[in-house]
Chains A and B, each alone.
Chain A
């Protein structure tokens, strides 16, 4: 399963809810304002850290990080580009946490 999250975890509960519905082996892709969830040291960072600990892959769209001047992502998250995004979509069933 691929779960996409495009809202900041400081704005609504999408990322938090998404976490409850992921299983080991699933992939979470943080994109648009969702990338704020991948920044290390924030009050919401433990969400992504806990997912990584449960063997859930967490990918982050690099273009959205760059656009927001975000460099310091949580260790273990994978930065991907649009081609990687397409691969994830082709390989998985998807649920968008809008």
Chain B
């Protein structure tokens, strides 16, 4: 399927991880949709940015956690991963606090989510066929 004909699907994540199952379920849906050759983007807003904080250790909660899965998003051809700048700043987070979502095929450099302004996210939203919120 050519790039123009692909269905553009955006996921927004606005909940923090672990307190509810939203972030985990959202990740599952992203991986499923990735199998359908869609043009997927993921945007983390508000407490959703906490889902991407590096170093999450859920062993004492007795749950599996998903940092490892987020770590291979690029392998699932999900490269368009964005965080809202204001949400990050309000929470005292910088791009260095975020987990790695894969590595560049050629240079093996780690790929991290990209920090963008709300106006850029709004423009991207307007171009989607569907937007799913988690």
Instruction: Tell me if B41 counts as interface (CB < 8 A to partner A).
Output: no
Known A13-B46, A23-B122, A23-B123: A95·B129 in contact at CB below 8 Å? no
Which of A21-42 touch B at CB < 8 Å? Answer: 21-23
Please report the total number of B residues contacting A with Cβ < 8 Å. 17
Which of B100-134 touch A at CB < 8 Å? Answer: 118-119, 121-123, 125-126, 128-131, 133
Specify which chain B residues have a CB less than 8 angstroms from the CB of A14 in the assembled complex.
14
Partner of B125, one of A1, A13, A17, A98: A1
A17 CA to B133 CA, complexed, in Å? 13
Instruction: Tell me if A20 counts as interface (CB < 8 A to partner B).
Output: yes
Instruction: Tell me if A71 counts as interface (CB < 8 A to partner B).
Output: no
Known A1-B125, A95-B125: A17·B14 in contact at CB below 8 Å? yes
Specify which chain B residues have a CB less than 8 angstroms from the CB of A23 in the assembled complex.
119, 122-123, 126
Instruction: Using A17-B46, A93-B129 as known contacts, list a sample of 12 further A-B pairs with CB atoms less than 8 Å apart, ordered by residue number in A.
Output: A13-B46, A14-B14, A20-B118, A21-B45, A21-B125, A23-B123, A93-B128, A95-B125, A95-B133, A96-B133, A97-B14, A98-B14
B: which residues have CB within 8 A of A?
12, 14, 45-46, 86, 118-119, 121-123, 125-126, 128-131, 133
